[in-house]
């Protein structure tokens, strides 16, 4: 079997790299200006260009949830959006959840319930759980499990993740804690 050159690739090579643009991202209430090519994902912009490595890369394909951040309060996979598309939006990452020294209740609950092991999926889980709460769709434990299933935890901390989410719901007087 012989693999021959893809002509298309050669053509691509002769074109210059895409030009960069000045992109202003509002992350954790701070505006940051970056010089980015359009092909930079929000995830890579956060991790490699802004040094906000709390947001994790687990697949780069929208399959694991490790990169979950909140955009205008909604949870999204930051690997599936380009940074340039997020100009003007309010981006909250795991680094932006605590208020000074005071952790967000979800962060506290994760510590309390040991809702992690290696900690790599954890920022995504926490952002996802915060997003879940504001969506208000989760009415019971079953809903929590279903709606948190976009966040894989290979360590298998699911039981404790659900307990942490329920705990926070309870604190907020949410009904989803049967």
**What is the binding site for ligand FES (CB under 6 A)?**
57-60, 62-67, 77, 79, 116-122, 153-155, 157
List, edge to edge, every strand of the sheet that includes 74-77.
Answer: 30-36, 21-27, 90-92, 68-71, 74-77
Helix (H, G, I), strand (E, B) or coil at 146: helix
Choose the one of another protein, ligand FES, none that binds residue 114, judging by a C-beta under 5 to 8 angstroms depending on kind. Answer: another protein
Residue number with CB closer to ligand FES (60 or 90): 60
Taking the alpha carbons of 8, 14, 15, 20 in that order, is the dihedral positive or negative?
A: positive
- As a three-state string, the secondary structure of 101-138 is CECCHHHHHHHHCCCCCCCCCHHHHHHHHHHHHHHCCC
Closest to another protein by CB, 85 or 155: 155
- Least distance from another protein to the Cβ atom of residue 166, Å: 12
Q: Is 146 in the site for another protein (CB under 8 A)?
A: yes
Pick what 33 binds: ligand FES, another protein, none; C-beta below 5 to 8 Å, kind-dependent. none
Q: Kindly list the distances between the CA atom of residue 175 and the CA atoms of 23, 66, 132, 140, in Å, as whole numbers in the listed order.
A: 41, 27, 14, 7
String of contacts with another protein for each residue 95-114, x by CB under 8 A: x-xx----x---x--xxx-x
According to the binding rule CB under 8 A, does residue 31 interact with another protein?
no
Q: Is 80 in the site for another protein (CB under 8 A)?
A: no
Residue 13 C-beta: closest distance to ligand FES, Å: 28
Query: Minimum distance from CB of 163 to another protein (Å)?
Result: 11
Q: Choose among 149, 22, 143: nearest CA to 75.
A: 149
Compare residues 25 and 42 and give the one whose CB is closer to ligand FES.
42
As a whole number of angstroms, the distance between CA 162 and CA 106 comes to 11
Q: Shortest approach of ligand FES to residue 125 CB, angstroms? A: 7
């Amino acid at each position: 079997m012989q693999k021959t050159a893809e002509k298309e690739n050669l053509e691509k090579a002769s074109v210059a790299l895409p030009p960069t643009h000045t992109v202003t991202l509002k992350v954790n209430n701070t505006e940051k200006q970056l010089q980015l090519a359009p092909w930079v994902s929000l995830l890579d912009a956060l991790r490699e260009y802004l040094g906000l490595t709390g947001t994790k890369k687990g697949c780069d394909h929208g399959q694991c949830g490790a990169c979950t951040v909140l955009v205008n309060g909604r949870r999204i996979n930051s690997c599936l959006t380009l940074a340039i598309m997020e100009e003007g939006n309010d981006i909250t990452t795991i680094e932006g959840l605590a208020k000074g020294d005071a952790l967000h209740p979800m962060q506290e609950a994760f510590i309390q319930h040991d809702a992690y092991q290696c900690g790599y999926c954890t920022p995504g889980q926490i952002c996802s759980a915060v997003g879940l709460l504001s969506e208000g769709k989760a009415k019971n434990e079953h809903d929590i499990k279903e709606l948190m299933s976009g966040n894989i935890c290979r360590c298998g901390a699911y039981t404790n993740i659900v307990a942490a989410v329920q705990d926070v719901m309870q604190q907020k007087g949410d009904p989803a804690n049967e």
